Every structure is written in C-alpha cells, then in structure tokens.
C-alpha cells in the first residue's frame, strides 16, 4: 500500500517537475536564441510586479515569461479544420506527449540500486532499461506521422513522411551506438552502467565514437535542428504541425522538449558518468550523497540541454539526401565497426 502511494507521489513529482522544466526550457531556448543573434530576448514579464499586500518585486530575465506563454497556449482558439481526420487529428498530439512522458519512466535521475535511501527512478529495477526507452521513444514517431496524415494537408503529409523515414533510419545507429557501453558494463540497466563508469572511466573516454554517434542520432530522434526536417518552417511551413493550434500545438512542443530532456539524461547516464563526480562513489548510500548525486546529474543534464540549444542556433538544417546519406553511409557503418572493435577488445582483455 505505502509503496504504491510512494510511487504515485514520485510520478507526480517527476512529471510535474518535468512540465515545469519544459516551460522554463522554452524561456532558456528563447534566451539562447536571442543571445546567439545579438539580441536580449524576453525580459519584460515579471518586471514591476505587484504582489498581494503591496509587495513590489522586480524579476530579471523575463522569469515569468513561461506563465505568459502557457496562458497564451491555453487561451488561444483551438481551430480544428473541417477537412481533417478528426479522431487521429486529436490523438496525434496525445501520443506525442504520452510517449515522451512514458519514456522517462526508467531513466534514473539520481543513484539507484540496492541499499540506496531512495530509488531515483520511477520504475526501478527494470532490467531492460535502455531498450524500454528506445521502444517508447520510437512510439513518438506515431504522433508525428499520424499528425501529418490526419491533417489532410500536403505540407503536413510531407513532414510526416520525412519524419518516419528519418526516425527509422536514425533508430539504427542510435541503438548500435550504445551497445558498446552495454558490452562494457555488461548490463542494460542504466543504474549498473553508471556504477561501471564510477568504477572505471566515463563512457565518453571508453567509447568516444559511440558518444558522437549517440549524440548525432539523439538529435535526429528529438527532431531538433539540424535534423528538424519534419517541421522545417521554411519549406514545409511547420510540417506536421501546420494545422495545429493552441494547446494541441503546445503538446507537440512539450513532447519535443521532454524528448530533449530524456535524451540529455541518457547521454549523461551513458557517456558522461551520470552522477559520477570526484568524491562520489557507488558505495555511498547516505541521504546527503544521494542529493549531491541528483544535483550533479541535473547539472550535467543542464549542460547537455544547453549544448543541444547551442547547436540548434549554430547549424543550418541538413538537406534530405544528406540526412539519409549521413545515417546509412556514415553512422551505421561506423557504429558497426565500433561495435565489432569493442567486442573484440573486450574478448581479448577478459579472455
């Protein structure tokens, strides 16, 4: 009984935190975009604020902008064009956001394992951890494809087509890029992979090529620039979400940012040591060390998210043929070579 309440509480806290973080990530994204373009970005919301009892505060950096954005999303007219395939049209954004939320269930955001004060994972002890994330992650493509199909609009349809081809292509190197780490750690459990990195070296040192492959494929999986071909505002006027407005559009947006968070967590867990930091080790199981580990992970994840945004505002979009070339002619062979080499070396060393 108590265990169930605990789990429900944990789900509530994590999902709530995720949504809040996503809201603020949109602000961060806008700020990063502005800075990269020599602008200042949103800086008004939250200025000269009068709270109840006449308390006046002055929040910098437009810190209340997410509230304004959210209110805008909710209050806008929700247009459903007459020519759409209604059930699918409504289902698509839900799939997008549900898949993005579910994917996070097995991602450990702090220390996990026997003896810890608390399992910092919604569903601890799932042996197939990483495989589950990928399986759910691939479901997200249904959101995009169905949105493109149900919109009954050529631009959206092209966006959906591109998305299906892109996601299927990049699933392959994405899956293979982590196999090196899985072989090294000898487990699919993300907690064990972090523990291995704590005892040996970070994944980025042990598997530099794997890291690069994962990063590139991860970008493609999240539909972020330079791989945002399904949306491409300039050619496809928004692609799969052309026909969506108000909160339905917002749900795609939330889904995308949650995906970014999940991919950042995975990168940190698989290749940047997770909670590993000089002075922290698997043996520590106290409350203080647990909090420290959560913070360290969150810090690394923040950096990864910033990197993803930074790259978005640096690189132009790939052309479609370049995208496919990159996946099938470079990433897949490279991933195979990497996998075979890793397996060979492990075999030689361990005998």
Partner 1 sequence: MNANHPDLKRMTPPKLSLGDRLYVPQVIAGLAVTARHMAGVVFGDSAITVQYPEDQHIPSPNYRGVHRLNKDESGRVKCVACMLCSTACPAHCIDIVGTTAPETELWGDREKYPASFVIDELRCIFCGMCEEACPVEAIELTGLYDLTGLSREQMIFDKTKLLSVFDLTKDAEPMRYGSPPSRPTSSTELVRDSI
HEC assignment per residue over 217-263: HHHHHCCCCCCCCCCCHHHHCCHHHCCCCHHHHHHHHHHHHHHHHHH
Minimum distance of partner 1 from residue 313's CB (angstroms): 6
Q: How far is the CB of 224 from partner 1 (least distance, A)?
A: 14
Size of the site for partner 1 (CB under 8 A): 14
- Residue with smaller CB distance to partner 1, 205 or 315: 315
Encoded tokens for 244:
């969506």
Q: Is the dihedral of CA 285, 289, 295, 301 positive or negative?
A: negative
Distances (CA, A) of 212 to 37, 176, 302, 318, 331: 27, 12, 18, 17, 10
Place of tokens 């975009």: 33
Residue 329 binds to partner 1 (criterion: CB under 8 A) = no
Nearer to partner 1, 39 or 200 (CB): 39
User: Which listed residue (8, 315, 340, 343) binds partner 1 by CB under 8 A?
Assistant: 315
Chain positions 5 to 34 lying near partner 1, rule: CB under 8 A, are 32, 34
For partner 1, the binding residue among 8, 9, 16, 35 (CB under 8 A) is 35
Nearer to partner 1 by Cβ, of 35 and 83: the residue is 35
Whole-angstrom distance, CA of residue 156 vs CA of residue 236: 7
Considering only 9, 13, 17, 40, the residue that binds partner 1 (CB under 8 A) is 40
Q: Which CB atom, from 136 or from 213, has the smaller least distance to partner 1?
A: 213
Reading the block at residue 192, the tokens are 């064990």
Nearest-angstrom CA–CA distance, 163 and 240: 9
Q: Residue 45, interface with partner 1 (CB under 8 A)?
A: no
Binding mask 163-202 for partner 1 (x = CB under 8 A): ----------------------------------------
**Rounded CA gap, 306 and 39, in Å?**
18
Say whether residue 336 binds partner 1 (CB under 8 A): no
Adjacent-strand bridge partners of 57? 49
Contact of 154 with 120, CB cutoff 8 Å: no
**Structure letter (DSSP) for residue 56:** E
337 is a contact residue toward partner 1 (CB under 8 A)? no
Residues in contact with 146: Cβ distance below 8 Å, sequence separation at least 6, in sequence order: 88, 91, 92, 95, 160
> Does 71 contact partner 1 by CB under 8 A?
no
Residue whose CB is less far from partner 1, 38 or 283:
38
311 forms part of the interface with partner 1 (CB under 8 A): yes
Note if the bond before 226 is cis, omega within 30 degrees: yes
Indicate whether 139 belongs to the interface with partner 1 (CB under 8 A).
no
- Using CB under 8 A as the binding rule, whether residue 328 contacts partner 1 is answered as no
Given 6, 12, 16, 39, the residue binding partner 1 (CB under 8 A): 39
Query: Based on CB atoms, which residue is closest to partner 1, 38 or 77?
Result: 38
Helices (H), 109-153: 129-150
With contacts defined by CB under 8 A, name the span among 38-46, 85-93, 106-114, 242-250 that binds partner 1.
38-46
- For residue 59, state whether it binds partner 1 (rule: CB under 8 A): no
* Contact set for partner 1, span 72-131 (CB under 8 A): none
CA-based angle 165:170:171, to the nearest 5? Answer: 100
Minimum Å gap between C-beta 34 and partner 1 is 8
310 binds partner 1 (CB under 8 A): yes
Contact positions with partner 1 (CB under 8 A) in 203-222? 212
Q: Which residues contact 318 (CB under 8 A, 6 or more apart)?
A: 226, 227, 229, 326
> Tokens 């998305």 correspond to what residue?
163
Q: Which stretch binds partner 1 (CB under 8 A): 87-95, 105-113, 230-238, 308-316?
A: 308-316
Which residues sit at the interface with partner 1, rule CB under 8 A?
32, 34-40, 212, 310-311, 313-315
């Amino acid at each position: 009984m108590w265990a169930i309440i605990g789990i429900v509480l944990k789900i509530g806290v994590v999902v709530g935190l995720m949504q809040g973080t996503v809201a603020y990530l949109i602000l961060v994204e806008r700020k990063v975009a502005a800075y990269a373009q020599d602008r200042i970005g949103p800086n008004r919301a939250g200025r000269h604020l009068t709270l109840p009892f006449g308390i006046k505060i002055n929040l910098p950096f437009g810190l209340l902008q997410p509230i304004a954005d959210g209110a805008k999303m909710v209050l806008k007219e929700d247009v459903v064009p007459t020519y759409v395939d209604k059930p699918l049209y409504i289902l698509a954004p839900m799939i997008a956001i549900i898949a993005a939320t579910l994917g996070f269930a097995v991602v450990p955001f702090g220390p996990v394992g026997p003896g810890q004060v608390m399992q910092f994972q919604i569903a601890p002890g799932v042996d197939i951890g990483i495989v589950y994330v990928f399986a759910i992650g691939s479901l997200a493509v249904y959101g995009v494809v169905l949105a493109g199909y149900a919109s009954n609009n050529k631009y959206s349809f092209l966006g959906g087509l591109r998305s299906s081809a892109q996601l299927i292509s990049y699933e392959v190197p994405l899956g293979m890029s982590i196999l090196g780490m899985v072989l090294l750690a000898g487990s699919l459990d993300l907690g064990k992979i972090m523990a291995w990195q704590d005892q040996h070296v970070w994944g980025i040192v042990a598997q530099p090529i794997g890291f690069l492959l994962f990063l590139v494929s991860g970008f493609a999986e999240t539909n972020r620039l330079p791989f945002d071909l399904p949306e491409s505002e300039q050619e496809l006027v928004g692609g799969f979400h052309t026909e969506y407005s108000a909160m339905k559009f917002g749900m795609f947006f939330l889904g995308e940012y949650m995906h970014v968070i999940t991919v950042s967590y995975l990168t940190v867990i698989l290749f940047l040591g997770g909670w590993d930091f000089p002075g922290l080790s698997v043996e520590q199981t106290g409350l203080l060390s647990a909090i420290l580990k959560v913070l360290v992970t969150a810090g690394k994840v923040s950096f990864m998210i910033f990197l993803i945004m930074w790259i978005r505002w640096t690189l132009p979009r790939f052309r479609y043929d370049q995208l496919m070339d990159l996946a099938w002619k470079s990433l897949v062979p490279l991933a195979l070579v990497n996998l075979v080499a890793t397996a060979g070396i492990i075999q030689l060393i361990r005998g």
